[in-house]
Structure 1
């Protein structure tokens, strides 16, 4: 993680910032809503996104005053757009940057536009992702939030702050990812207090920079996902139409956060806009065995035991699974309440681990099922992607109580391992082409 430093604003407030990379262009990341420059590196998807940006720029990250690691301010004195613009200038002065490209996300977009209008000589370009000119709807601006939606969101913050607030609209593709949900909730907690985020959200609702759009004279790239659930894509088109030197690129997907979803498309557009070329990200594809497990009848057991007792059972379950993963060299990728997804570099070890889990968890009064497949996956830090993962999950869904079900691929790879297999027939796996012959594994 880069070292956190502090710039002193004109009124004495300290603004936390980090610098990463040594590219020829200074790129200032202007966050939307709230941020924490150090907590960001704890979320692998965000860390990879920043590292890729830093591969072709000198990337500057900062926390707005009143958020993250910057000085806190009274809720009634949270900064206006003008003050936030001055804070960006203070950070640029602190690192000796005379000209910058601004990359604004969501609420960061109006701030970038005001900076470009106020300091055109210091702005080489502007990039906006999921941005807007006005937050609330108006008779002549249908793409904003209604007053009812705004009030509902404020009530959600008051009621649920500390949890993954707003995740359903900001990263719907990660809604069922327990690890990401936990990281998002932690990032929000470390980004702002409940009072501060309420005041900030109310203040952001008043933003309207439509009058300055025609004054922007620097090259501008507007990126927006077609299914964005926070800021409709029409808001992005409005920005591009109002800025004379703007290009608009509509991307597929419905995640509002740029570091989630098809990030290669986002990063490729940004890199090409800044450098004129689009490099291909390095691939880290390996052959691996995926293991999926879940507890059979978990919903019924939870209802019978009650919340407190079921939580104790899950704690014991998780501890036993992690012990067996460590014993057989498995790598935990995610947990989904009562299930695990793990990765192995050898199929025989993965099967033996699954069989050991069936026996070990039965001693706790739990029955599980498991599914395994070996195929090519792409490693990306703490995350993994690939069709093999979907195949493994589908196989697990077909396994019976206490059964370890594997693909034909695995059976053929472990010949001579001392494992035995019973043919379970041929199946169609949802969303996966072709027919798949599956086998129940056991130890000879």
Structure 2
């Protein structure tokens, strides 16, 4: 088939490229990380794999920010997985897709997990292939890569990216020089060697979305072949409620390179027999609490009229910044605000901006940020994550943005820095909680 038309959608100041292939009642997003929408159709087995997927419904493909046909970024400031989830949301909106099945392979898996957890109303099914929620080993995750293994892998990627020597993760292509050459050309167009190495270094060392697996509500199929670590696939299946695990033949990093018919068969059977989407009553969300420190004393000192005028200016400023950073105001009582965000980095940036803007008004605010599962109750929210966020905010000092350990883990690699505030008991919440203060960005 001829390569489909590449289209663009604006995401903030950037543009994200996407393609739509085929028709049908099912919308299916397929993404495997680094790619180039136009050149992938020159890689014969990849084009054939895409065509087989398009036979299942309307296939949606995209290049995330920083790669392929989409907006490029500086190597030292590449987008986070939170940004890439925003890319996917924008592409779906542009495609007019309200409910979609997502098939994510390799390093695209964490973004798909995040999106499925944060937007369960939009994800009808999730398919994860040869991916991992975390790549680095840890005391509670011995199946990950050691630091020396990570260093060796990243060095290999940078040294061989876009060359025939870099095709070793695709043993099925060993005898096909034409395909290997086309795939190497695609890699060079997708990213530079140092950009690819920077992303994989971040992915392998810092990314960890294990805590989101239990929040995935969509029916999930976990696929792996001999080219991936089976233990990581079993970990996904064990931690996503109701997930089905299937091993398929092959040794290639991505499924398209080998005999992909068993994969297509598993995907087709899974999507054909899927359950209807569940009603959304709980989602992954970042909650932000903020209030004015010493508000009672200031109200007494200023008098009712002057305090009311100042409070009105404060509320208008908060609402303006919430809108600017994509936050949703949940409720307001007196001088305090509760808001939610799709991602923690956006919430922290909003909070630090609020702190500076309040200072300019002669006010000191304290803010708490936490990410977790919230219950949707009409226009309000509830659940343990909301209580944790409120307790964190109560411990913050004047002009301080205090966050939970969950938040620091999720914004790793974003450039946001923190100071450790130690462990604290949160009233009514079991266990001790390590908290961190977000550093204010340098002036100018």
Q: TM-score, normalised by structure 2?
A: 0.59
CA–CA distance in 2 between the matches of 1:157 and 1:217? 35
Alignment of 1:152-191 (within 5 A): 152-164=152-164, 166-168=166-168, 170-191=169-190
Distance in 1 between residues matched to 2:165 and 2:241, nearest whole Å: 36
Kindly indicate whether residue 252 of structure 2 is the aligned counterpart of residue 255 of structure 1. yes
Please tell me whether residue 209 in structure 1 is matched to residue 206 in structure 2. no
Matches for 1:313-324 after TM superposition, within 5 Å: none
Separation in structure 2 between the aligned mates of residue 106 and residue 160 of structure 1, nearest angstrom: 18
1:238-258 Cα offsets, whole Å, 9 max, x none, are 101100021111122212211
Unaligned runs of 5+ residues in structure 2 are 275-444
Matched, 1:100 2:97: no
Shift of 1:157: 3.0
Q: Which residue in the other structure is 1:194 paired with?
A: 193
The answer to whether the Cα contact below 8 Å between 1:36 and 1:63 also exists between their aligned partners in 2 is yes
- For each residue in 1:22-56, what CA deviation from the matched residue of structure 2 results, as whole angstroms up to 9, or x when unmatched? 02111111223x11011100011000100010011
2:247 maps to 1:268: no
What is the deviation of 1:261?
Answer: 1.9
- Give runs of aligned pairs for residues 74-153 of structure 1, distance below 5 A: 74-153=74-153
Instruction: Look up the match of 2:70.
Output: 70
> Which has the larger Rg?
1
1:30 is aligned to 31
Could you list the per-position Cα deviations for residues 280-311 of structure 1 after superposition, in whole angstroms to 9, with x for gaps in the alignment? Answer: xxxxxxxxxxxxxxxxxxxxxxxxxxxxxxxx
After superposition, the C-alpha distances for 1:70-129 in whole angstroms (9 at most, x for unaligned) are 000111221111110010000001111111111100111111110011111111110011
Q: Is the 8 A contact 2:162 2:186 kept in 1?
A: no
Q: Which residue is 2:242 aligned to?
A: 245
Q: Residues 78 and 173 from structure 1, CA distance in 2 versus in 1: closer, same or farther, beyond 3 angstroms?
A: same
Distance apart, 1:147 and its partner CA? 1.5
Q: How does 1:294-313 map to 2 (within 5 A)?
A: none
SS at match of 2:41: helix
Summarize deviations over 1:176-195 as a string: whole Å, max 9, x none: 32222212211110110123
Deviation at 1:165, TM superposition (A): 5.2
The equivalent residue for 1:286 is: none
Could you say which residue in structure 2 is the equivalent of 1:435?
A: none
Do 2:113 and 2:213's aligned partners in 1 also have CA atoms closer than 8 Å? yes
Aligned partner of 1:365 in structure 2 is none
Aligned residue number for residue 15 of structure 1:
16
**Matched residue, 2:422:** none
Verify the 8 A CA contact 2:249 2:262 in the aligned structure 1: no
Q: Do the aligned residues in 2 keep the contact of 1:66 with 1:72 (CA within 8 Å)?
A: yes
TM-align CA RMSD: 1.5
Higher mean displacement: 268-277 or 182-191? 268-277
Between 1:77-86 and 1:173-182, the stretch displaced more is 173-182
Q: Tell me which residue corresponds to 1:373.
A: none
Give the distance between the partners of 1:140 and 1:62, measured in 2 at CA.
34
The equivalences for 1:350-361 within 5 A come to none
Q: Which has the larger displacement, 267-276 or 42-51? A: 267-276
- Paired with 1:79 and 1:223, the residues of 2 have a C-alpha distance of 27
- Specify the SS of the correspondent of 2:222: strand
- Counterparts of 1:269-348 in structure 2, within 5 Å, are 269-276=266-273
**Cα displacement string for residues 257-296 of structure 1 (whole angstroms, at most 9, x for unaligned residues):** 110222110001101111139xxxxxxxxxxxxxxxxxxx
The answer (yes or no) to whether the contact 2:105–2:128 under 8 Å persists in 1 is: yes
Check whether the contact 1:156–1:165 (CA below 8 A) recurs between aligned residues: no
**Deviation at residue 144 of structure 1 after TM alignment:** 2.1
8 Å Cα contact 1:41/1:47 also seen in 2: yes
Contact residue 218 and residue 245 of structure 1 kept, 8 A: no
Q: Please give the alpha-carbon distance, in whole angstroms, between the structure 1 residues aligned to 2:257 and 2:143.
A: 23
> Equivalent residue of 2:121, what SS?
helix
Give the alignment's TM-score, normalised by structure 1. 0.59
CA contact (8 A) 1:135 1:145 kept: yes
Hey, what's the Cα distance between the residues in 1 that align with 2:103 and 2:81? Answer: 16
SS of residue matched to 2:224: strand
Q: Distance in 2 between matches of 1:184 and 1:260?
A: 10
Q: What secondary structure is seen at the aligned counterpart in 2 of 1:183?
A: helix
Kept after mapping to 2: 8 A contact 1:220/1:246: yes
